[in-house]
Amino acid sequence: MSYRILLIEDQALVRESLASLLNCTQRFTVSVSVESIEAALQCLAQPEQFDLILCDYHLRQSTAENLLRSHQRPAGIPVVVLTSHFNAIALQHCRSLGAQGFLFKESSIHDFIQALTQIVQGGEHFAAPEPEPALWTVAETANDTQPATLDLQLTDAELDTLKWLATGMSNKQIALSTGKSAETVKTHIARILKKLNCKTRTQAVTKASHFNLI
């Protein structure tokens, strides 16, 4: 049996390459590929045509969360979200909104097909990288009970940038979305990492989430 996929990906080269790879398997067929949530919802007016929805997290005008929130999305078709950058907040949001999977584009084709098979047969698969060691101790976390102690260190511009970081966007994508220069975004992120005592963007987002800053 070949499972029929609705593929949502706004980058033509990625969309065509992924469709070609999936169509070469005996297990999956990309029945329709589109570049936007709007086009996908039009296709889903006939839900019996699809067994699985495969959606890139970052699209030009929206994210996969818009699809998951849509009342037009048929409840019976599992949704798998694709991403290039791991983001714990995005994963949690997608899972809470009803996604059955969260996969990396960098996965091997074997692991990718195995995960899709698990999902289409009724399971779930939420990929995550190896956890990074926290840069703050348990004692420090216990003592920092007031989010304001961190909040006061961040300017409004830095807090805004932090919220965009939580979506998993690159510096360039944040710059385009906020109207700031890439250099300004880079400066904000450097200051955020320093103030939150973090080495990576993922650690900063995780710590900010812990203190309800985002």
pLDDT in tens, 24-63: 998 999 999 999 999 999 999 999 999 999 999 988 888 9
- Position 183 pLDDT exceeds 90: yes
Sheet holding 52-56, edge to edge: 28-34, 3-8, 52-56, 79-83, 101-104, 125-126
Q: Which of 10-19, 78-87, 125-134 has the lowest mean pLDDT?
A: 125-134
Average pLDDT value for the chain: 84
Q: Which CATH architecture has domain 138-210?
A: Orthogonal Bundle (1.10)
Neighbours of 75 (CB within 10 A): 8
Structure tokens at 95: 């899972």
- Position 15 pLDDT exceeds 70: yes
Domain boundaries, the chain: 3-126, 138-210
Q: Report the distance separating Cα 106 and Cα 85, nearest Å.
A: 9
The confidence score (pLDDT) of residue 140 equals 43
Residue with tokens 């047969």: 121
- Position 210 pLDDT exceeds 50: yes
pTM of model > 0.75: no
The confidence score (pLDDT) of residue 165 equals 83
Q: Report the distance separating Cα 102 and Cα 122, nearest Å.
A: 15
Q: Report the distance separating Cα 4 and Cα 16, nearest Å.
A: 16
Query: 71 or 136, which is more confident?
Result: 71
User: Residue type for 188, please?
Assistant: H
Q: Report the distance separating Cα 41 and Cα 196, nearest Å.
A: 40
Fold of 3-126: Rossmann fold (3.40.50)
User: Residue type for 116, please?
Assistant: L
Q: Report the distance separating Cα 55 and Cα 65, nearest Å.
A: 10
Burial level of 148, CB count in 10 A (0-12/13-18/19+)?
exposed
Are 40 and 81 in contact by the 8 Å Cβ rule? The answer is no
Q: Interior CA angle at 127 toward 123 and 129, to 5°?
A: 160
Are 65 and 142 in contact by the 8 Å Cβ rule? The answer is no
pLDDT in tens, 73-122: 998 999 999 987 777 778 888 999 999 999 988 788 889 999 999 999 99
pLDDT in tens, 1-11: 799 999 999 98
The confidence score (pLDDT) of residue 129 equals 59
